[in-house]
Amino acid sequence: MPQSGASACRRYGIRPCDETGLFSPALQARIRAHFYYVDHCPLSGRRVYADNAGRALALKALIQRNAEVASLPDALDAGTPTAHALRSVMASGPEDAGVLWGVPFNDLGGTFMAPDTATGLRRILHNAAPSLSAGGNVVICPCGDATLRQTAIQWTRETHRTWQTPPLERPGGNIGVEAYARAVTPDTRVALLTHVSGVSGMHQDIEAMARAIRRIAPDCLIVVDGTHRAAHAALDVTTASVDAYLVALDRVFCRFYTGLVWVAPWLLDATASATSLNEAWGRQTPKAWLGPSEWMKYLDWLGGYFSGDVARRARVVAACDAIQAHERCLMTRLLEGPDAASADIAASPPLTGLRHLPGVEIIGAPHTAMVSFRLRGLSAEDVTARLLARGIHARHLGWEDAGDVLQALGWEGAVRLSWAHYNTGQEVDACLQALELLLDRPSKGKG
Sequence spans of domains, the chain: 5-57+330-439, 64-297
Q: Is residue 99 pLDDT above 70, yes or no?
A: yes
Task: Say which amino acid occupies 244.
Answer: A
The pTM of this model reads 0.91
Tens of pLDDT, residues 56-98 = 999 999 999 999 988 888 777 787 888 888 888 888 888 898 9
d(CA 199, CA 364): 10
d(CA 331, CA 418): 9
Burial per residue of 329-341, b for 16 or more beta-carbon CB atoms within 10 angstroms, e otherwise: bbbbbbbebbeee
Rounded to 5 degrees, what are φ and ψ at 190? -140, 140
Kindly indicate the confidence band of residue 210, based on its pLDDT and cuts at 50, 70 and 90.
very high
Please provide the CATH number assigned to the domain covering 5-57+330-439.
3.90.1150.10
Among 4-8, 86-90, 162-166, 374-378, where is mean pLDDT lowest? Answer: 4-8
Q: In the predicted model, what is the mean pLDDT of residues 381-406?
A: 91
The residues near 44 (Cβ < 8 Å, ≥ 6 apart) are none
Cβ neighbours around 306 below 10 Å, total: 28
Q: Is residue 106 pLDDT above 90, yes or no?
A: no
Q: Is residue 1 pLDDT above 60, yes or no?
A: no
Residues 439 and 357 sit within 8 Å (Cβ to Cβ): yes
Residues 4 and 321 sit within 8 Å (Cβ to Cβ): no
Kindly indicate the confidence band of residue 168, based on its pLDDT and cuts at 50, 70 and 90.
confident
Q: Is residue 112 pLDDT above 80, yes or no?
A: yes
Residues 364 and 172 sit within 8 Å (Cβ to Cβ): yes
Among residues 332, 331, 338, the alpha carbon closest in space to that of 429 is found at 338
Rounded to 5 degrees, what are φ and ψ at 311? -75, 130
Q: Between vectors from CA 387 to CA 386 and to CA 388, what angle results, nearest 5°?
A: 90
What is the layout of strands, in order, in the sheet containing 395-397?
360-362, 370-375, 414-418, 395-397
d(CA 351, CA 344): 10
Among 134-143, 169-178, 337-346, 378-387, where is mean pLDDT lowest? Answer: 337-346
Among residues 330, 296, 317, the alpha carbon closest in space to that of 426 is found at 330
Cis? peptide before 338, omega within 30° of 0: no
d(CA 243, CA 193): 11
The residues near 188 (Cβ < 8 Å, ≥ 6 apart) are 136, 137, 138, 139, 213, 216, 217, 220
Task: Say which amino acid occupies 381.
Answer: E
Q: Identical fold at 5-57+330-439 and 64-297?
A: no
The residues near 321 (Cβ < 8 Å, ≥ 6 apart) are 1, 2, 234, 306
Tens of pLDDT, residues 32-60 = 999 999 999 999 999 999 999 999 999 99
Among residues 23, 63, 42, the alpha carbon closest in space to that of 427 is found at 23
Our measurement of the distance from residue 424's CA atom to the centroid of its chain's CA atoms, rounded to an integer in Å, reads 19
At residue 411, the 3 state secondary structure works out as coil
CATH domain 64-297 topology:
Aspartate Aminotransferase; domain 2 (3.40.640)
